[in-house]
Amino acid sequence: MLDIPSHVRVHVDPLIAAQNDMGVCDAIERNAPGGKPADMSAPNVPKVAGIDPVVPPPAQTPAPAGAVIQDRLAGWVSDLTTLHELTERLVSTRALDEALHAVVRAGATLVGARRGLVVLEPADGLGPTSTVGLGLAHAELGHIETVPRRAYGAASEGAREDAAPGPDLFVSSPDLFREEDLDPLHREVATRLGYAACYALPLTGPSGTFGSAVWLYDEPAEPVERRRHLAGLYLRYAAEHLARLVELERAHARVATLTEELLPSRLPRVSGVQMAVRHRTGPLGGGDWYDALPLPEGALGLVVGSVTGTGPGATAAMGRLRASLRAYAVIEGEDPVAVLSDLELLMRLTEPARSATALLAYCEPAKRKIVLSGAGHCPPLIVGERRTEYAETTLSAPLGMLSCWEAPSVDISPEPGETVLLYTEGLLRRTGDPMDRAFARLHAAAAGVPKAVREDPGAIADHILRTVLPDGLDAVESAADIVLLAARFS
């Protein structure tokens, strides 16, 4: 033990060991001196993530113990700052793919690598599975995925389910081409992609290991113990965050699958009309639905509707209403008002806590005649070469809002080649604009459909979605479902 003043007396060797064994936070708390000695005020070159400065300090006599302690404390503070910044970036991610990219970038910074990848592969086989890379093209990722997992992912295969990423679970290959037992396929891929070393850590969550992170070095190299420790701390937190996003992704997939099963598996073929539909379930699951029902004498029933609320309850209510409306439409489909009146009575008796909007169109393609009846729903949009306009429908309350619902129907006659668009309010809400501006945006998108695609209802629907939602269906923070049903009359 050094002979230094009692107010800064610290056991240096145990301090160094504590840094490696207990983590930076515990080491600082347990070994920090009680006061600030006078010789700790000298400036020091800052360190980032435990990386030594680029320019080494000039050779000099051994520094006083206080300066050594100050230098180590400054390094710990720098490490903590770096970890805080990286975890803050990670926690701000909402989507699984975005979080995976954040993890591979942060890990490359901590271990000093230029390229890397994260493989998401839950052991239970329930998905989702994904591979994202840093500095690797899509074809290069494909080559790496051909390498057996044991070559660089043994950390994940041998990890205990109750263990967190740490120095005892990493897999390091500091010089691949000097390893006698290197997998031949791994050697071939490493030669083709030009990396000479790799370092891997497992992704271990509460339910076990569900993937691994791998970083690649262009030259033979291996991260020092300090960097391995920082990467282990970061991966421990990142694995918990990714595990939560995996469970959320699975829940969204279950809701989407349930919704799709309650909707038509395909649209019917009816002479004189071409149809296409675009549907997207919100992240929480909702009650928007559509239907296309062949009716007697070559008629066709088109329906779009929305049940209030989100989640499995709204999805189940949507399924019940859709099945009931199909039955009523078969019985009296030529009278949409009667169909919606029956549906409203059913809702008051069986779904008293809910309301719904609906638009039913009884179509006779041979006559190009449509009889519309709506209950609190958005008006259809007619798109043709000579006009793009909203069809005038009567104002009415949603189903379940009044003790007795009834509203007159409206007749429209589309011209040959015109397309009638039926949609739900979710499409307008996803724009983020007030409703009047959202209606105007939808109208402008329909009016701008290129002539080359006006004969294809699917292409028309895709063009409108790209124009109304230029950032994509999933880019907008909204829980609303989307339904867009296009029917082109020949």
Question: What's residue 233's pLDDT?
Answer: 92
Give pLDDT tens digits for 145-180: 888 776 664 444 443 344 444 444 678 889 999 888
Give pLDDT tens digits for 372-396: 999 989 999 999 999 999 998 877 8
pLDDT bracket for residue 472 (50, 70, 90)? low
Average confidence (pLDDT) over 190-207: 91
Average confidence (pLDDT) over 269-286: 88
Long-range interactions of 104-108: CB distance < 8 A, separation 24+: 104/132, 104/133, 104/134, 104/213, 104/215, 105/134, 106/234, 106/238, 107/201, 107/213, 107/215, 107/231, 107/234, 107/235, 108/134, 108/215
- CA 14/CA 17 separation, integer angstroms: 5
Regarding beta strands 410-412 and 369-375, do their DSSP bridges make them parallel or antiparallel, or are they unpaired? Answer: antiparallel
Question: What's residue 18's pLDDT?
Answer: 41
**Poorest-pLDDT segment among 53-62, 120-129, 389-398:** 53-62
Taking all residues of the chain, what is their mean pLDDT, rounded to a whole number? 82
Residue 28 has pLDDT above 50, yes or no: no
Question: What's residue 48's pLDDT?
Answer: 38
Enumerate domains of the chain plus CATH numbers.
6-88 (no CATH), 111-246 (3.30.450.40), 263-489 (3.60.40.10)
Q: Produce one character per residue of 171-201: b if its CB has 16 or more CB atoms within 10 Å, e if not.
A: bbbeebeeeeeebeebeebbeebebbbbbbb
pLDDT bracket for residue 126 (50, 70, 90)? confident
Model pTM score: 0.68
Give pLDDT tens digits for 70-83: 878 887 888 889 99
Query: Residues near 277 by Cβ (< 8 Å), separated by ≥ 6?
Result: 267, 290, 292, 461, 483, 484, 485, 486
Residue corresponding to tokens 């008629």: 299
Question: What's residue 478's pLDDT?
Answer: 64
The H or E element spanning position 453 is: none
Question: What's residue 67's pLDDT?
Answer: 81
Residue 473 has pLDDT above 90, yes or no: no
Residue 411 has pLDDT above 50, yes or no: yes
pLDDT bracket for residue 405 (50, 70, 90)? low
Residue 5 has pLDDT above 70, yes or no: no
Nearest 5°: the CA angle 340, 345, 346 is 95
Question: What's residue 80's pLDDT?
Answer: 87
More confident residue, 151 or 269: 269
Average confidence (pLDDT) over 213-235: 93
Q: Any bridge partners for residue 306, and if so which?
A: 288, 357
More confident residue, 215 or 70: 215
- Amino acid in position 464: I
Question: What's residue 237's pLDDT?
Answer: 93
**Poorest-pLDDT segment among 46-60, 261-275, 350-364, 367-381:** 46-60
pLDDT bracket for residue 62 (50, 70, 90)? low
Average confidence (pLDDT) over 213-242: 93
